Amino acid sequence: MAENDILVAEKIRKVYRTGAEEVIALNNVNLRMKPGEFVAVMGPSGSGKTTLLNCLSGLDDIDSGNVLVDGRSIHAMEDKKRTQHRASTMGFIFQAFNLIPVFSATENVELPLLLAGSSEHEARRRAQETLDRVGLSHRLNRRPSELSGGEQQRVAVARALAGHPRIVWADEPTGNLDSETAAHVMELLDELNADGLTILLVTHDEGIGATAHRIIRMRDGRIESDEIVQSARPPATHAQTQGKETAPKAGSKAANGEGENG
């Protein structure tokens, strides 16, 4: 494992089986990421991009290969250890928000912290602090039905950040948003990345993918191309991404809730 690599995937193979039929979803995929990178994985439907995210993060098992996240082989771990590693190292943002309807914004953010063993006081403090950092200090007690789509996704971003992850996985995070609101959410993610957060994002949208600083294109379960976008900033150094006690501060219009449509 190269020094400072936060993610190393080697010869990842994933096969889905239905009766006698086999579908190769990932075919000997190799990938490395350094701390502070913002990588977009793109490709047509069925290309394997979401399967790749799920296998890299340990949400799905693999048939062969090896995945190291922060120096640890996640697929060699028992389920309980893998879950603990995800909780302490990773954050997740999904297209469907996955918020609990009867919970407030604060309660949605603090729930995974409580499940990870934080005290009620610490979970509440970190949840409210992180919601403030994504511009939702005025929506702490609102339920999802009382929030706009963009605000719901920012609650999901806060939930991903509250555990101080080393890497965030984002699967089509703007898929349910209109173009203007999607642009605000991507502006927020870009600012968080500028503060050192490592992000791997899956999208089929060329405009969304262009926000990233490295674009990986997939087809038929393989990486077809892997290129650095010319406007990309250098990844954060190891020192910049270590010892962050709080989620990165986002101070843009997107983070402060200005200029957002419903």
Tens of pLDDT along 184-205?
888 889 888 998 999 999 999 9
> Does residue 62 carry a pLDDT above 70?
yes
Pairing assessment for the beta strands 167-171 and 198-202 based on DSSP bridges: parallel
Give 35-62+76-256's CATH code, choosing from 1.20.120.530, 1.10.150.120, 3.40.50.300, 3.90.420.10.
3.40.50.300
- Please tell me the predicted confidence (pLDDT) of residue 3: 59
> Does residue 137 carry a pLDDT above 80?
yes
What SS3 state is found at 105? helix
Confirm whether pTM is higher than 0.75: yes
Q: What is the mean pLDDT of residues 16-25?
A: 90
Rounded CA-CA distance 203/220 in Å is 16
Cβ atoms of residues 94 and 173 within 8 Å? yes
- Please tell me the predicted confidence (pLDDT) of residue 4: 82
Concatenated DSSP letters for 4-26? T-SEEEEEEEEEEEETTEEEEEE
- Please tell me the predicted confidence (pLDDT) of residue 234: 57
* In the chain, domain spans: 35-62+76-256
- Weakest-pLDDT range from 26-30, 79-83, 120-124, 138-142: 79-83
User: CA separation (Å) from 126 to 23, 67, 114?
Assistant: 43, 30, 11
Pairing assessment for the beta strands 38-42 and 64-69 based on DSSP bridges: unpaired
Per the model's pLDDT, the better-predicted residue between 63 and 248 turns out to be: 63
Rounded CA-CA distance 4/12 in Å is 21
> Does residue 108 carry a pLDDT above 80?
yes
Angle at 191 between CA 189 and CA 196, to 5 degrees: 95
> Does residue 240 carry a pLDDT above 80?
no
- Please tell me the predicted confidence (pLDDT) of residue 12: 97
